[in-house]
Amino acid sequence: MAYVDWKIKTKQIGTCSCDYGCPCESMAPPTRTPCEGVMAMEITEGYFGDVRLDGLRAAGAYRWPGPVHEGKGTWWSIMDKAATPEQVEALFKIMGGEEQEPTTSFAIYGSTIENEPEPIFADIEFEFDLDDRKGRFLVSGILEAEVEPIRNLVTGAPHFVSLHLYDGFEFRQGEMASATFWSKGELEQNHRKRYGVLTYVTYGPYGIIDDESLPKRRA
């Protein structure tokens, strides 16, 4: 199948209600159900056909009643208020998996979604520091997440853990963190010290693109 030519280079912060490690990454059931969380990304460079997407942000809240692959999920989109109508259309096509191989990231997640509340258009605050495993994003009155290093239970020192997924469809390498987050409205939730991950990742119609221009992780 022929797809629109597109590419987005992103910084991402993801969270979920599971314990550190997120069993999904190891092909195991979630720590607790429902499986829920919030995420945000900033597109450092991107395009969809002739539409530039540089600098735009997107966020969302989500929930599945059980393991993600069993479906019946809910995804609530929050789009950058600064986006033009053309950019909004492009982002929805990308994130909905309409212009991507069925076995790749956005298409896989899209196939598990059954409910989509009306999207919100808002300012999305976004802070990202991969080396220190710190980050934050906020949509005022809707959702907020803060990630920081996991702490050693004995000494309290930062405990750095890297995830390397050889065949990962969502990302290939990420830095694990401790996430505290909440959302209101359609997907109300509140969690402390749960799984979080920070990652750089580039996507296109055929999945993850190995991008040598991305900043490299430092130990």
Q: Measured between alpha carbons, how far is 91 from 80 in angstroms, rounded to an integer?
A: 10
CB distance 133 to 218 below 8 Å: no
pLDDT of residue 219: 52
CB distance 14 to 39 below 8 Å: yes
> Does a structural domain hold residue 219?
no
> Does a structural domain hold residue 61?
yes
Decide if pLDDT at 218 tops 70.
no
> Does a structural domain hold residue 190?
yes
pLDDT of residue 85: 97
> Does a structural domain hold residue 218?
no
Per-residue pLDDT tens over the stretch 59-71: 999 999 999 999 9
Average pLDDT along the chain = 94
* 26-35, 88-97, 122-131: the lowest-pLDDT one: 26-35
A 10 A CB-CB count for 87 gives 20
Decide if pLDDT at 147 tops 90.
yes
Q: Is 26 exposed, middle or buried (0-12, 13-18, 19+ CB in 10 A)?
A: exposed
> What value does the mean pLDDT take over residues 88-113?
94
CA-based max dimension of the chain: 54
pLDDT of residue 136: 98
Backbone angles phi, psi at 47, to 5 degrees: -155, 155
Q: Measured between alpha carbons, how far is 157 from 145 in angstroms, rounded to an integer?
A: 22
Decide if pLDDT at 203 tops 70.
yes
CB distance 77 to 120 below 8 Å: yes
Tell me the chain's radius of gyration from C-alpha atoms.
16
Decide if pLDDT at 37 tops 70.
yes
> Does a structural domain hold residue 82?
yes
**Whole-number Cα distances in Å, 163 to 26, 53, 80, 168, 170:** 10, 28, 29, 10, 12
Overall number of domains in the chain: 1
Per-residue pLDDT tens over the stretch 110-139: 999 999 999 999 999 999 999 999 999 999
Structural domain including 126 reads: 6-208
pTM across the whole model: 0.93
> What value does the mean pLDDT take over residues 199-213?
87
pLDDT of residue 42: 98
Q: What type of residue is 64?
A: W
Q: Measured between alpha carbons, how far is 76 from 59 in angstroms, rounded to an integer?
A: 9
Place of tokens 């004995």: 154
CB distance 40 to 59 below 8 Å: yes
> Does a structural domain hold residue 215?
no
**Whole-number Cα distances in Å, 50 to 5, 135, 191, 195:** 9, 31, 40, 37
User: Tokens at residue 163, please?
Assistant: 């995830």
> Does a structural domain hold residue 1?
no
> What value does the mean pLDDT take over residues 89-97?
96
> Does a structural domain hold residue 74?
yes
Helix (H, G, I), strand (E, B) or coil at 164: strand
pLDDT of residue 26: 84
